[in-house]
């Protein structure tokens, strides 16, 4: 195996952990297919990107910190030749954002099998898995710095490859290990010959299978299938393990449990042009906006989205209410993630690097501003200040999801309970709490869509969805040894 390498702070928005992409297509340029697939999944992680390519004899991995377009160029992709590829774009929830934690991970098994693995999600029994790997001397003990990755993916990679011994295969190892892993996960892995994918038994994170003319693709979202010209076949079902090689697509089930698809994928995380569980993300957000227009309606003159994630809901709001829709905020499409830290003076400009108001649209108007969610409230506070400076007469904020009160332990980097603006001491989901939040962000009025309306908009059975960040009901349980999880347990008991 060869490893090639080149050598902001968290924003006030929720982040998903990662995007994964795998392709099995002999005769095709799999590294470039993986590159463009990751490009479509860039919204799922901006800290690092990597591609592993196998040609039956070896696996070559190239990965680095940064955006997909910053990590790869034509010469690098030309050096990654093979029949199967696994790609990953990362936002960390366990482990830091150093190069060692960028995926795919690579290890060699005791019988000499090379394995590359990528992961989207977050494991609730990470500490148990880590202890098992330390006991087997597969990873260094906790607290030992400079000796590899600290992520849950590294632990799974170590345990998976260690199980490949003597005449056993990667498939045998996966069958043994997967039933012992708890939490939210989509794994993509390869031995350089076969492409494997597995989705956790609850199906928290999305994963889809697509058909190429001469191969197959599996990706976190259907938009990545579209960009490489793959035809959507079906979702990878919760608890399924898929293997793809020259004999075709082989599917088996390693667990059966109730579904718990993440509702926040529909609200914010997924691209609007993706389809999850046969439901268009864009259509879901339009319907949420329509339902939102009936919550505390106001006499606004314009419905205006916070681009881009608030746009579909704002369109639905405008269609249902009859109030005109206009783009009063312009987003710089080329900002991305910058490694250049602004000076204090520039930092005080707040959002203007990414968003800038159009004064002629805003000035003197009563605005209804639609956003997808509110987490800490810092972004909304700066945005409302900016709109008032641009001459807005009134700013009425409408949020296309319920208040976020509970942290996520299944792959979204929500703040700790104390950092969430909904936990500001005024209770939850009542008029006093909303008024407190409204005052904190400086809006003239504030309203949220209800949990029931949000769920109804997805067209999914309520029992099939995870709504933990809104309701505090955790279908996969809470991780042990996590300070925020312990705080949540106390909150659930009424202790504060």
309 is in an annotated binding site: yes
429 is in an annotated binding site: no
In which residue are the tokens 């998903």 written? 16
Bridge partners (DSSP) of residue 114 are 108
186 is in an annotated binding site: no
Identify the sign of the CA torsion 249, 250, 254, 257: positive
469 is in an annotated binding site: yes
Kindly give, in sequence order, each residue whose CB lies less than 8 Å from that of residue 73, ignoring residues fewer than 6 positions away: none
The two three-digit tokens of residue 242, written as one number: 């898929």
Among the listed residues 291, 289, 298, 452, the one whose alpha carbon sits nearest the alpha carbon of residue 371 = 289
Element (H, E) at 291: helix 281-292
157 is in an annotated binding site: no
Among the listed residues 108, 122, 121, 60, the one whose alpha carbon sits nearest the alpha carbon of residue 86 = 60
Q: Which of 18, 34, 412, 415 is catalytic?
A: 18
Question: Residue 257: CA atoms inside 13 Å, Cβ hemisphere, count?
Answer: 20
Dist. CA 61–CA 192, nearest whole Å? 11
In which residue are the tokens 């992680």 written? 45
CA angle 300, 329, 316 (to 5 degrees): 50
Catalytic annotation present for 186? no
**Cβ neighbour number for residue 356 with a 10 Å cutoff:** 15
Dist. CA 5–CA 460, nearest whole Å? 43
Bridge partners (DSSP) of residue 120 are 186
Residues forming the annotated binding site for [4Fe-4S] cluster? Answer: 262, 408, 466, 469
* Residue stretches of the annotated binding site for Mg(2+): 309, 371-372
Q: Per the annotation, where are the binding residues?
A: 262, 309, 371-372, 408, 466, 469
User: Which active-site residues does the annotation give?
Assistant: 18
């Amino acid at each position: 195996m060869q490893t090639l390498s080149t050598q902001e702070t968290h924003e006030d928005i929720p982040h998903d952990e990662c995007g994964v992409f795998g392709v099995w297509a002999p005769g095709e340029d799999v590294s470039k297919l993986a590159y463009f697939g990751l490009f479509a999944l860039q919204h799922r992680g901006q800290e690092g990107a990597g591609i592993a390519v196998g040609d039956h004899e070896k696996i070559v991995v190239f990965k680095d910190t940064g955006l997909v377009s910053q990590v790869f160029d034509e010469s690098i992709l030309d050096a990654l030749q093979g029949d199967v590829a696994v790609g990953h774009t990362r936002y960390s929830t366990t482990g830091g954002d150093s190069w060692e934690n960028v995926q795919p991970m690579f290890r060699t098994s005791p019988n000499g099998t090379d394995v590359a693995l990528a992961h989207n999600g977050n494991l609730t029994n990470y500490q148990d898995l880590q202890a098992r790997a330390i006991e087997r001397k597969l990873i260094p003990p906790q607290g030992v710095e400079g000796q590899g990755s600290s992520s849950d993916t590294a632990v799974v990679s170590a345990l998976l490859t260690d199980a490949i011994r003597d005449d056993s295969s990667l498939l045998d190892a996966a069958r043994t290990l997967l039933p012992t892993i708890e939490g939210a996960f989509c794994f993509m892995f390869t031995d350089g010959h076969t492409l494997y994918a597995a989705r956790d038994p609850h199906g928290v994170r999305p994963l889809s299978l697509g058909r190429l003319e001469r191969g197959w693709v599996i990706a976190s979202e259907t938009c990545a299938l579209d960009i490489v010209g793959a035809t959507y076949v079906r979702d990878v079902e919760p608890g399924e393990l898929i293997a793809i090689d020259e004999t075709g697509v082989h599917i088996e089930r390693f667990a059966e449990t109730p579904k718990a698809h993440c509702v926040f994928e529909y609200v914010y995380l997924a691209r609007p042009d993706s389809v999850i569980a046969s439901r268009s993300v864009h259509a879901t957000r339009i319907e949420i906006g329509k339902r939102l227009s009936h919550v505390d309606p106001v006499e606004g003159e314009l419905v205006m989205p916070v681009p881009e994630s608030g746009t579909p809901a704002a369109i639905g709001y405008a269609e249902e209410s009859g109030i005109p829709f206009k783009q009063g905020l312009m987003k710089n499409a080329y900002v991305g993630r910058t490694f250049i830290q602004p000076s204090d003076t520039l930092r005080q400009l707040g959002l203007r690097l990414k968003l800038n108001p159009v004064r002629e649209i805003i000035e003197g108007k009563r605005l209804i501003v639609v956003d997808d969610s509110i987490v800490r409230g810092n972004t909304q506070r700066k945005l409302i200040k900016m709109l008032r400076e641009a001459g807005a007469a009134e700013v009425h904020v409408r949020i296309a999801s319920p208040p976020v009160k509970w942290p996520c332990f299944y792959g979204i980097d929500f703040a700790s309970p104390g950092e969430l603006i909904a936990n500001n001491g005024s209770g939850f989901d009542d008029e006093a709490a909303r008024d407190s939040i409204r005052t904190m962000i400086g809006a003239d009025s504030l309203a949220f869509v209800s949990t029931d309306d949000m769920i109804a908009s997805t067209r999914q059975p309520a029992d099939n969805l995870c709504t933990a960040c809104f309701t505090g009901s955790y279908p996969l349980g809470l991780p042990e040894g996590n300070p925020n999880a312990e705080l949540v347990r106390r909150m659930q008991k009424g202790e504060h």
